[in-house]
Each structure stands twice: as C-alpha cells, then as structure tokens.
Structure 1
Amino acid sequence: MPLIALAVMALAAVSCSTTRRLGAGETRYTGVGKFNVETPGDEKAPIALVDGLKEAANCDANDYVVAPFIKIPLGLWVYNNWNDSAGGLKGWLYNKLVKAPVLISEVRPEMRVKLMEQILDNNGYFGSTATYDIRYSKTNHKKAGVDYEIRLTNPYRIDSIIYLDKPEPMARFVDSVAKKSPYLQKGEVFCVDSLASERIRIVNAMRNRGYYYFRPEYIEFLADSLITPGNVAIKLTIAANTPKMARQQYRTGNIYTTILRDSQSDPGTPDTIPTKRGDVIVMRPARLRKNLIPSCVTFREGKIFSVRDMNRTQTRLSRLGIFGNIQIQPVPVDTTSGNATLDVYTTCQFDQPIEASIEVNATSKSNSYLGPGLILGLSHNNLFGGGERLGLQLTAAYEWQTGRNRGSVFNSYEFGLNASLAFPRMLAPSFIKRTNRELNWTTINLGASILNRPHFFKLAEFNTGITYEWKASRNSVNQFTPFKLSYNKLISTTHEFDSIMSQNPAVALSFQNQFIPQMSYTYTLDKFFERERINGINFSVTVTEAGNIFNGIWSACGVKGEKKLFGTPFSQFVKGQAQLVYSRRLIKATDHWLVSRVLIGAAHAYGNSREVPYSEQFYIGGANSIRAFTVRSIGPGSYRAPESVKDGYFDQTGTFKLELNTEYRFPIVSVLHGAVFLDAGNIWLLKNDPMRPGGQLQGATFLKDIALGTGVGLRVDIGMMVIRGDLGYGLHAPYKPGYFNIPFKDAFAFHLAIGYPF
C-alpha cells in the first residue's frame, strides 16, 4: 500500500509540473479523446475511411513512450523543471530530452474537421459533417483533449461511365484499359483517390504501349451528381492541352550502349561492336564479353517502345554488379505520324572490380567459450569479362574457456578458407523454368576448415559443390545444389572426448570420419499481399538427400555391406526443413508489427549410415531460437545430461525439430525499437537411444517436452544493420517435473546478436 500511494503522489506531481510554465490563455493538448463515426442504418463505415479520418484528427501529444502501453511525458517534465541554460552533461541531456508543450491553439481542431469533411467528399460521402468539442481536464483546467463526432450520409455511387469512344488508336487503347478496371464499375462508391489510381494505371499501360510522353494529368474524369440523385456519372476525357508528342505512339529506333572505363584520367579508345540488340561502344582497354551487354538489353529495334523494357534493362545491368553508374535516355528521332521512333542511349560506367573487406567480431558460446573472430574477404566482380564473381574468404577465430573449469593457456581455434566462383547465368539445361526478368546464378564453391577443441578433438572439413539460383517469379527464389561433397575427419581426439563418445555410441557414430555427398533444393516465397505492406509471408522449404546416388551405383556394381569412397564410408540420409514467417502490421504506416514463425524439420539416416552426421543434426536455443535458453542447453525431448558428464552439450542434438515463435515489435524513439516475445519448441530423436532416455519423439509426452520462454528485447535499427539484445525468461524446462518449473534466479538468458531473429 505505501508503494501504491507513493506512485499516485509521483504521478500527481508530474501532472502538475507539465503545465507550470504555460502562459495565460494557453491550454496543453492531451490527445484525441472520443472519436465517434455515426453511419445511417446498420452499415459500418469502411475501415480505410475511418483510418483516414483518424489520421486527419491525430496530432502527437507530449507523451514519451517507454513501453508499448506506458507513456510518460518525460520531455515535457524536463521543459518545466530543468534550467535550459545548464551546461555540461545536464545541458546535453536537456537538449536531447526537452519537448515544448503542444497547445490546443497549435492543434487547430477547426481546420482538422474541415479536412475530415474534404476527405468525406472525396470518398463520396457528400453532405456528411464533422464537429469537435474541447474536453478540459477536471483536475487541471490548463489541460484539454479533443473529442470528434462524424456523421456520415449514404455514399454516392457510380451510376454510369462514358468512355472516349473515338476511332483514334490512342482513344481505343485508353477505352480498352479503362473497361478492364476493377473500380470503374456501376455501383462502386465514388472516390477521388480511386480515380487518381485509375489515371496512374491507365497511363502506365499507355507508356508500356509506346505512349512514352503521356502523363497522368492528361487523363481527366468529369463527375456529374445531378443526373441521378444520390449517384454520380463519370466521363473519361483527354485534356485539351495534351501535347502532340504525348498523343503519339513510338517504336524503338536505334539502340546504343556505351561502356565507360572506371578511370577518369584515361577515357580510352571507343570500339563499336554491332549486335542484335544494337551497337555496343566499349571504351578500350576493357574486359567485357561480347554477348554480356546484349543479354541484359530488352529493347528490340522496331518494337513498340515500353517503359517496362527500360526498367528491366536497368535492373539487369545493375545486378551484374560491375557498373557504378547506369543511365538510360530515350531520344525522339522521327515524330512523323505513323512512323515515330525513339533512339535509346544507355551509358554504363565500370566500377572498381576488386573489393576487399575485413570483419572483426566476438563470440560467446553456451559451452563457456569466449573469443574474437576475424573474416578477411577479397572479391573480383568481373573476372572473365562476363560479370563473374570470384570470392575468397579467410576466417579465423580464437576462443578460451571461462569459469572455474578453464583449461590450458592454449585454447580453441578455428581456421577456414573458402573460394567461390559465381556466373550471372545458368550453366544448366534450358528446360529449367526461370524468368528472364532476373539474373540467374551458377556458383561453384570450394572450402576447407580446421576446428581445434584442445580438451576434446581436432576436426578437419573439406567441401566442394555447385549451386544454381534462379527466380521463376517476382516473389520466389529457387536454389538447387545437384552436387555437394563434404569430408569430415577427426585428426586427433583426447581421452576425455573418447570417454564421452564411449558412453554414447550413437553420438560417436555421428562424429566418425565420413564423406557426405549431398543434393538439395530450396524454395523461398517472400511477398506482401497489399501495396501498403500490411500482411506478408516468407515461406521456405529445403529438402536434402545424401548418399542415395552413390549407394545406387555401388549396389549396381555388386558391392554389399558398408560402402566406402576412397576407403572411407559415405553418409546416407534424407533431411527436410520448412519455415513459415507471417508478418502483420498492427497500425497502418507505423513500425508496430506482430511477427510469428513456425519451423519444423526432420532427418533420417538409413542404408549406409546408422546415424545422421553430427553437423546435419538439429539443435535448439540461442539468439535466433528459443531465447530463454542458451544453444544446445535443452533436448532432445526431456533428456538432460548427467551432471557427472562434463560438456554434455555433445548430446544436445536431435533428428526432429519443432519451433514456434511470436514477437511484437514496436518503435520507442528514433532508431531504438523494442520487442516482447514468446518462444516454444524442442528437438527429439526419431530413433530410440537408450543412452539418452526421454529423447525419443512420443505423442504421450509431446506437450510436456515443449520448452517455453518469454522475454523482452531492445534493437538499434539503423537500416543497413540491426543490433539486437534479447533478455529471455524461461517458463518451462522439459527436463524438470511439472510446469513453470524454473527457479527465478536460473530463468534468465541474455543474447546479443546482429539482425532480427526471423
């Protein structure tokens, strides 16, 4: 009770202090109070219309948001109680936090109701009214909010549409586009914004049909509400001041593409190359394949000129990644009736082909290892003159173990070298469906790494493969890896590691020396359902198989039993994973989002393998998973490594995974954002392992095995990068009896990461 009384007194003190410096006749604005929209009959007002009216009424008051539903006028309190002439740290804080009071006179509610009535007229609600009432605070007459009352009439609807109906080609084309409109239909509610959208839609269609100089202001809609009471007749016309060039349909004339060198001091010597897509003028010396530019140009001489071809050509040239500047300029040459043409001049300037990068990071892992990392990158973006990208990446990391059980001075390290060569085209059969609007990529990879855990093992891995990436539509991406070969070899092990493996043969099998020949396919769909980006989904599914082709070849050759490649067994398994992320914008035109994810995966070893390789098994927990638990600290199922087994995290993997996440993201101030989240899930074993009791997936214990956690987070979103800190609180651990079974002092986990979790 004393705490409650103290809180009430503090709020009262803040309330009084927020109006202390107001002058005579000044009233502080506290926000919109009641907002009532009254409609005739039982019909509800359209949501979009109500949102527009609320936006017109809205004016931010002096509220500083510190949580989703907690608002404190901190800046206003500073304005009233701090000295604006203070220096040093206090002066700096004053300038950062201070907010002058928002006054009723500045809000101007009388102008806002006029704007609302204009919105109502534009949406066909002619004769509707909007009024306001200033509502003063009962405890402080210098504070007031504003109530708004809107009374709607029945909306006017489209009664008839009169088209151009003229024999000219342009008029016939405009009529054909307008008649296909989903809005220009009898019975639709009259709306000025919808008519404006129709103008843009018609003009876009015309500019893709050769009418390059046509603009939206040349389309006019005349409305008459007197012919039929309560209805509107629409007449489509072309503005009288439309210039002749805008009425003319153009075809593509000559096509010129100029490639400039990246050197400003030496422009080079022009070399003209005739192609089927026009003349390519290359300033020599320059490394450029003859057919690269024509493959990106979508214009055709004699074809009806289209703005869509301009955009596609610009996009293709940009995605090559070899040009720093690209400009496309159509120039009218012949404007005579029936034979008007536009010559197309494209100018591209090479960017510097070689890039170097360096990245320094620090990692903290759940197995108490902490240390720095370094990534050195070197790339050539135009290796053979066809936009080929050669990338070399050297990774290095050094870690030491913290805590009481830290080991020797020489600790864990990892080195890796990866090389990739990417071609901006499909080096594959032409029957694979892909869109020509986007670049398609073929990437060849080669890599090697060494991982040293001084208390356990030294592991070497080699891999190579080829991957195709293409887009079958605007929102979908396909990745197909027809061949990837990995080789894992334990170079050395310690007695401690051997002891752990001897206690769990299943885990030991997953660590054995083996080849992993794989084939995989990934499909990703990423789209929003509305132009306003309100509802969006990201769906991805990956299917991987390993060893089946090799096993079939060996079997066909009569090999029985365990099959080997170069004297080493190869792995055979299938693995699949699917993820669906749904994003919902809660408040229009704001960064209030509700984002949810469902992830499910399974892997099964058979044939030439008894266990899925350790690197291909699932684990859970960490910054991008269930954030109330660290990586590999839960699962499989209700299994918990005995306290006598040091570093039991080796056992914390499985062959089935389910993860459910939901997160409310909201802005706080400037680039600082917040989040409240709820995570659930676990991993299981599809095969029973006696050494890991409770780890097998079973229906009777499925719900009890679901780990549950919640928490809050802060994010610094600067656009190109998001720095995220999440504090998770565990609600249920599957390895403990009962529910909500984690002691308060052991329930927290903090994660610092880059990027959003999903």
Structure 2
Amino acid sequence: IRYGVLRRRFLYKSGEMYSQQRQNYTQQALSRLGVFKYNDFNYTPRPGRDTLDITVNAMFDLPYDSELELNVTTKSTKQTGPGAKFNLSKKNFKRMGASLNLELKGSYEWQTSSTVDGESSVMNSYELGAALSLNFPRLVLPWIRNRVDPFRFPSETNFKIYAEQVNRARYFKMLSFGGTVSYSFQPKRSIKHTVTPIHLAFNTLQHRTARFDSIANANPMLFHSLDDQFIPSLTYTVTYDNSYRKKKNRVWWENSLTSAGNVTSVIYAAFGQKFSKKEKELLGNPFAQFLKYSSEVRYTYHISEKQQLATRLMGGVIWAYGNKTIAPYSEQFYVGGANSIRAFTVRSIGPGRFHPANNSGYSYVDETGDIKLEANLEYRFRILSNFLGGNLNGAAFLDAGNVWLMRKDEARPGAEFNLRHFFDSIALGTGVGIRYDLSFLILRLDFGFALHVPYDTEKSGYYNIPKFKDGMGIHFAIGYPF
C-alpha cells in the first residue's frame, strides 16, 4: 500500500504528547480502508526516556470480494423469468486503498399465456446492465490533496459509470448510460451527509415499433417520459440514525432533494438564452428539468428482547417543468414488492385509481407516478431461539400506499391526486412472515394478502378482491424490509 495512504491516516507526529483520542481515530481510519483484516498498536518505552515507539501490526485482507444474486420474477401480466446480478470488487486498487467494483446484471421474461394480446408464448423482454465504480475511503478534493485528511470522521468518494439496456419485444428498445460523482461524510455517528454534485444520465430509444407508436399517440403524457433526453442533476441527502446508542426506541430518518437541469439552464442564460425557453438541448437532445423530494422515517419500538414493533412512513413528490413537463420514467415513484406493499408485485399499483388491466394495450407498462405515499406497520416476535445455529422469528404486517400523477392525464382517468378519493385510492394489504436470523444474514419469507385495491374490480365493498388467490403475494428476500 502506498506510503501516502497510510500517512494520511496517522494522526501522530514525532514529539507530540500521547493521545488516546488520536490512537482511536488512527485505528478507525485504518479499519475504514477495508484493506486490513486487523490492526494492532504496540507501544514500547525507550530506555531512560519519556518517549514511546509505536509499532503497528496489520494483516492484509483477501484482495477480492464477489457476490452472485439470483431471482425469479412473476407478474400479473402473465410474464415470468429469471434474473442474475454479479458483483466483483478489487480491494486496494493501485495500492491506493480504494475499491474497484464491477457489477453485471441481466434478466429476461417471457409470456406464459397465449391469452395475452391473443398471441402465442414468446420471450418478450430482457434487461442487461453493467456498472464500474471506484470508491475511495476519504474525500477526494483538490484542496486537501497531499495533506492529512482534516475530516477525522468517516468519509467516502465514489466515481461511477454505467450502461443499461431494456428491450420490450413488439414495443421498444431503450439504452441508458451515464455517470456520477458523489461524496459522503459523517461528522457525527448519528448524522450522515451525501452530496452528488454530478449525475449525468442519457436515455435514448433505439427502436420503436408501430404498436408502440399507436399507444404513444393515444397516451402522449405516459410515453413522453420515455423520450430521448439528457438528465443532468445534483442531489443532497441527509440521514439520521440513532441505532448505535442501542436505545429502546430507535429512529432512522432520511431526506433527499434532487434538482435537474437548473444549473444547465443557468449556463444557457449566461450565453444569452432565456431561462424559461423550452426545448433547450444538450448533446443534441432536450434535457430534463425537475425538482424531486423524498422523505422516509422508520421507528422501531423494542417491547422486549424478543418482541419489536417496527413502523415506516415515506413519501415523495417530483415536479417537472420548463424544458420537460413530464418527469423521466427512471425518476418516477412506484410501490409494491418485497420491501413495499407486500400483497402486490413491484409497479403493479397506481397511479391513483387507474389500472392498465382495463386496457390490454397498456398491460405491459409499469405503473409509476409523480407523488408517492406509503405506510407500513410490522410486529416482530421470536418463535424459536438457537434454531439450527440461528433464531427463527415471525412477523405480522399491514402495508398501505399508492402513487399518483401531478397533472391530469385524459388517457389514464383517475390517475391524478385527488383529496376527495384519497382513502379509496390507497392500496391496503396485510400478511405474515417468517425470518431466519443468523446475525450476519437474515432470510425472509413473506406472505401478503390484499385487502383493498384502488381500482374498480366489479366487486362492491371495501374488500374488493375478486378471488383470494388473486390478491396473494409471496416474497423471498434477504434482510428486513425496513
């Protein structure tokens, strides 16, 4: 490892008075490198003097980490298929104490029923993606180069480039690529700040079919979100977490604000173009302009060592304006899935009281919106202790939420946010689950049961699920949902 990497983390200077605090900071900084299995400090007094010699014993960790994740997806649109994600990390890249990470992912789905659009079963969707990132366990900034890092708290810098391709057979093929530069620092154990000053994303439709164009003409608002566009944005996120105190009541709260296209518009204005001018372009394509805010708070109450009550409340809103009055598809909100409303699959609810199943032409479209509200309540309890090397826990939960549009869309009636129909437009589900807790790994199996869907099912009453099996969701996942 390079000398400068180590020297930057040693807060000692020859001749200084010994400090326990400096030793703690130094050991923590070495551990955060992620390069060593351990580091041990030994102090040897020089004979006849009040001087200590410091010897540090450390052992390098394994140079590579790898992870393989497999999954299977099924959807209510009669589509199913497997997916995989592979991660490979090289520690201590170029002896800089940095980590070089490669991520490869892919999935495909095929039609399992000939009744969908009246056509025979064919493979009709696939996704491929790759990302390369370089992570430094310090703030990489020009004005602190070749100096001892003045931030003695945990900090991190991440550089990332990525590319993803989505193919929907008989509809479209889309390519997305871009890059980010982000900084995170933790001045207190309970507070973490993350700043992403540069996030450049580019979406382009490589291929469109006649069927896609006919649907786009009927619903331009929905499909403008898939147009070719450049998305330059910056994001600030602050997270509060008091779990390190091991208190009975634990709070986790995260707030995030994203601004896209505004800095670019200011640059345009500096060159004489009006800030409010529409259809401003960058790299030959219009760039998106929007403000996005999201907030999520989690509260866990420990009834006893074997019982907890966990709650979560989250929401978000995105407002597109100026150059693009429709938010990019990749930035819109959604609900459903193993970590959301577990009675439903991912992106299968909303927006509002609209449901694309009423029109088979939209049945393949994921359901997203500009506004999101979600609430979760989960009671966790111990079933068996020391079961095959771990604890077997149970859970009972209640999930509710939906997404809505900010603006009215004639092609999707009932999709916009409306206080009059607010409670009817909330999807509600309950369920039970089991968790196998190995302390270092938690395996989770949840069974969700729908109680209410926001759209018309031709069944009267609040419980409007036509058949019990149609409102059932099964999710196998790693870790707790929140």
Distance 1:620 1:407, change over 3 A: farther
1:701 is aligned to 421
Give secondary structure in 1 for the equivalent of 2:8: helix
Alpha-carbon shift at residue 401 of structure 1 (Å): 2.6
**Residues 636 and 695, structure 1, Cα contact 8 Å, conserved in 2:** yes
2:251 is aligned to 537
**Residues 360 and 372, structure 1, Cα contact 8 Å, conserved in 2:** no
Counterpart Cα distance in 1 of 2:301 and 2:143: 39
**Residues 509 and 610, structure 1, Cα contact 8 Å, conserved in 2:** no
Counterpart Cα distance in 2 of 1:495 and 1:715: 48
Alpha-carbon shift at residue 486 of structure 1 (Å): 0.6
**Residues 724 and 756, structure 1, Cα contact 8 Å, conserved in 2:** yes
Alpha-carbon shift at residue 744 of structure 1 (Å): 5.0
Aligned length: 462
**Residues 435 and 472, structure 1, Cα contact 8 Å, conserved in 2:** no
Q: Aligned letter for 2:283?
A: F
Could you list the runs of 5+ residues in structure 2 that have no partner in the other structure? Answer: none
2:269 is aligned to 555
Counterpart Cα distance in 2 of 1:703 and 1:303: 66
2:480 is aligned to 756
The structure showing larger relative contact order (alpha-carbon pairs under 8 Å, at least 6 residues apart) is 2
Distance 1:672 1:496, change over 3 A: farther
Structure with bigger strand share is: 2
Counterpart Cα distance in 1 of 2:329 and 2:108: 22
Query: Structure 1 residue 740 and structure 2 residue 463: aligned?
Result: yes
Query: Structure 1 residue 326 and structure 2 residue 18: aligned?
Result: no
1:67 is aligned to none
1:346 is aligned to 56
**Residues 348 and 366, structure 2, Cα contact 8 Å, conserved in 1:** no
Query: Structure 1 residue 361 and structure 2 residue 70: aligned?
Result: yes
Distance 1:407 1:483, change over 3 A: farther
Query: Structure 1 residue 417 and structure 2 residue 130: aligned?
Result: yes
2:233 is aligned to 518
Counterpart Cα distance in 2 of 1:554 and 1:368: 47
Alpha-carbon shift at residue 299 of structure 1 (Å): 3.3
Q: Aligned letter for 2:449?
A: Y
Q: Match for 2:21 among 308, 316, 331?
A: 308
TM-score of the superposed pair, with normalisation by structure 2: 0.89
**Residues 534 and 584, structure 1, Cα contact 8 Å, conserved in 2:** yes
Alpha-carbon shift at residue 652 of structure 1 (Å): 2.0
TM-score of the superposed pair, with normalisation by structure 1: 0.58
Could you list the runs of 5+ residues in structure 1 that have no partner in the other structure? Answer: 1-287
**Residues 551 and 608, structure 1, Cα contact 8 Å, conserved in 2:** no
Alpha-carbon shift at residue 556 of structure 1 (Å): 3.1
Cα deviations across residues 500-528 of structure 1 (Å, max 9, x unaligned)?
32221111110101111111111111113
Query: Structure 1 residue 370 and structure 2 residue 83: aligned?
Result: no
Counterpart Cα distance in 1 of 2:74 and 2:328: 21
1:282 is aligned to none
Alpha-carbon shift at residue 571 of structure 1 (Å): 0.7
Of 676-685 and 634-643, the range deviating more from structure 2: 634-643
Q: Map 1:426-575; keep pairs closer than 5 Å.
A: 426-428=139-141, 436-528=151-243, 531-559=245-273, 560-575=277-292
Counterpart Cα distance in 1 of 2:129 and 2:315: 30
Give secondary structure in 2 for the equivalent of 1:291: helix
1:609 is aligned to 324
Q: Matched residues, percent identical?
A: 41
Cα deviations across residues 516-548 of structure 1 (Å, max 9, x unaligned)?
11111111111138x543111111111111111
Counterpart Cα distance in 2 of 1:392 and 1:747: 38
Cα deviations across residues 545-586 of structure 1 (Å, max 9, x unaligned)?
111111222233234431111211111111010000001111
Counterpart Cα distance in 2 of 1:333 and 1:414: 64
Counterpart Cα distance in 2 of 1:581 and 1:545: 25
Alpha-carbon shift at residue 360 of structure 1 (Å): 4.1
Q: Map 1:72-87; keep pairs closer than 5 Å.
A: none
Give secondary structure in 2 for the equivalent of 1:697: coil
Structure with bigger helix share is: 1
Counterpart Cα distance in 1 of 2:122 and 2:412: 33
Give secondary structure in 2 for the equivalent of 1:458: strand
Cα deviations across residues 360-392 of structure 1 (Å, max 9, x unaligned)?
402214344333333333332222322122222
Q: Aligned letter for 1:392?
A: L
Q: Aligned letter for 2:68?
A: E
Distance 1:618 1:749, change over 3 A: same
1:74 is aligned to none
Alpha-carbon shift at residue 396 of structure 1 (Å): 2.4
Counterpart Cα distance in 2 of 1:532 and 1:514: 46
Q: Map 1:275-286; keep pairs closer than 5 Å.
A: none
Counterpart Cα distance in 2 of 1:401 and 1:721: 34
Q: Aligned letter for 2:3?
A: K
Alpha-carbon shift at residue 415 of structure 1 (Å): 1.8
**Residues 74 and 81, structure 2, Cα contact 8 Å, conserved in 1:** no
Q: Match for 1:395 among 105, 129, 147?
A: 105
For the aligned residue pairs, the C-alpha RMSD in angstroms reads 2.3
1:134 is aligned to none
Counterpart Cα distance in 1 of 2:120 and 2:90: 42
Alpha-carbon shift at residue 649 of structure 1 (Å): 5.4
**Residues 500 and 645, structure 1, Cα contact 8 Å, conserved in 2:** no
Q: Match for 1:297 among 2, 7, 10?
A: 10
**Structure with the greater alpha carbon radius of gyration:** 1
